[in-house]
Amino acid sequence: MLKVAVAPRGTRDWICEAVHAGGGQLVEPADAEALVWTDAAHGPGPQPGPAGLLKTLEDNPQIKWVQLPWAGVEPYAAAGVFDGDHLWTCGKGVYAKPVAEHALALALAGLRDLKRFATASEWGAQAGISLAGGRVTIFGGGGIATELIALLTPFRCDITVVRRHPRPMEGVARVFGYEARYEALRGADLVVIACALTAETTGLISSVELELMAPHAWLVNVARGPHVVTGDLVVGLREDVIGGAALDVTNPEPLPPGHPLWELPNCLITPHTANTEDMAMPLLSDRITENVRRYAAGEPLLGMVDARLGY
């Protein structure tokens, strides 16, 4: 039976239950072959984060596989946690369906000008853009992009994907590398950011990219706040360089009260809620259970992290 530690202390009971469901035996880190590491978001005191994980692995060199619960693991990459001595897996792909659903909801709300209508106190002028037959550019070619492409099928959109390794994708008219991102932005009615945060994609959308977008286009970000240069976005929205932005993530995050983005009529913000804990619980449980089963059986694991790329 695979011996698995779940740490740090205070981790939710359902994560331990997921390990059991996969056939794992829960043990202390000193006796473990594998580690499910998750900061206890509601636990007492400061959370240990990357430093705590590094210390746990240093103290327990017999651990060979580490499962992280998040899809985005950039704080761990930045801290130099990932190495070639361990197998690393994360929540990559686990949350794709709810996040893609939220991206579509934000896109439709933005294009249909729902923030202005929802906050109005009197009858106003008509406004709105139909997504049907529209041109959509998606940054990222992973699980969220794949699910979003499927959701866009009834709209018969012309879809362009920009990703690190271009290759044909079902339902996509064209796939570009990041070096061709300017071409991908021109003429798009909707631009969705759904890629990993790396050095290459930090500051992906600045004033230059906003100027390339159509004046009516909406930007949707369901990935990470630093993909967008916030100051440039504020200026672009104030000057109507693009139609608007719908953001589930921001930089800084949380977005402080009084920040200009809150007051802009063409900016719609949700508080990083594309994937809630209630949505995540069954999805992550299934991933942990399946990976515990796979590791014990010597099968390939799901959601592998590339230690070189950091995602």
Q: Which two tokens stand for residue 92?
A: 């990559």
Residues 77 and 103 in one domain: no
Q: Is 3:31 a contact under the CB 8 Å cutoff?
A: yes
Q: Select the more confidently predicted residue: 262 or 47.
A: 262
**Are 237 and 217 found together in one domain?**
yes
Judge contact between 263 and 234, C-beta under 8 A.
no
Whether 198 and 257 share a structural domain: yes
Evaluate whether residue 222 is within a structural domain. Answer: yes
Quote the crossing angle between the two packed helices 13-21 and 277-297, to the nearest 10°.
Answer: 30
- For residue 84, give the nearest of 306, 255, 264 by alpha carbon: 306
In this structure, are 153 and 194 located in the same domain?
yes
The predicted structure's pLDDT at residue 46 = 60
| Tens-place pLDDT, residues 220-233 | 999 999 999 999 99
Report field, pTM of the whole predicted structure over 0.85: yes
Please tell me the distance from the alpha carbon of residue 290 to that of residue 302, in angstroms, as a whole number. Answer: 8
Residues 253 and 289 both lie in one domain? no
Count of structural domains, the chain: 2
pLDDT tens-digit series, residues 68-77: 988 889 889 9
Domain hosting 31: range is 3-94+276-297
Same domain, 176 and 239: yes
Residue 308 included in any domain: no
Domain contains 310: no
Return the exposure string of 107-130: e unless at least 16 CB atoms fall within 10 Å of the residue's CB, then b: bbbbbbbbbbeeeeeeeeeeeebe
Give bridge partners of residue 268 from the DSSP assignment. 246
Q: 26: domain CATH number?
A: 3.40.50.720
User: Is 30 domain-assigned?
Assistant: yes
Residue 156, domain member (yes or no) = yes
Mean pLDDT value of segment 3-24? 92
Burial class (CB in 10 A: 0-12, 13-18, 19+), 165: exposed
pLDDT at 42 (0 to 100): 39
pLDDT in tens, 263-289: 999 999 999 999 998 998 999 999 999
Give yes or no for residue 45 having a pLDDT over 70.
no
Residues designated as active site: 224, 253, 272
- Residue in this structure with the two tokens 């037959």, named with its chain if needed: 133
- Output DSSP code: residue 304: B
Q: Which strand ranges, in their side-by-side order, compose the sheet holding 3-7?
A: 25-26, 3-7, 34-37, 65-67, 87-89
Residue 306 lies in a domain: no
Laid out side by side, the sheet with 267-269 consists of: 174-176, 158-162, 135-139, 190-193, 218-221, 244-247, 267-269
What is the Cα–Cα distance from 192 to 205, expressed in whole angstroms? 11
* CB 63, CB 39: distance < 8 Å: no
The chain-wide mean pLDDT, for the chain, equals 94
Residues 134 and 246 in one domain: yes
Domain assignment present for residue 189? The answer is: yes
**Would 293 be classed as within a structural domain?**
yes
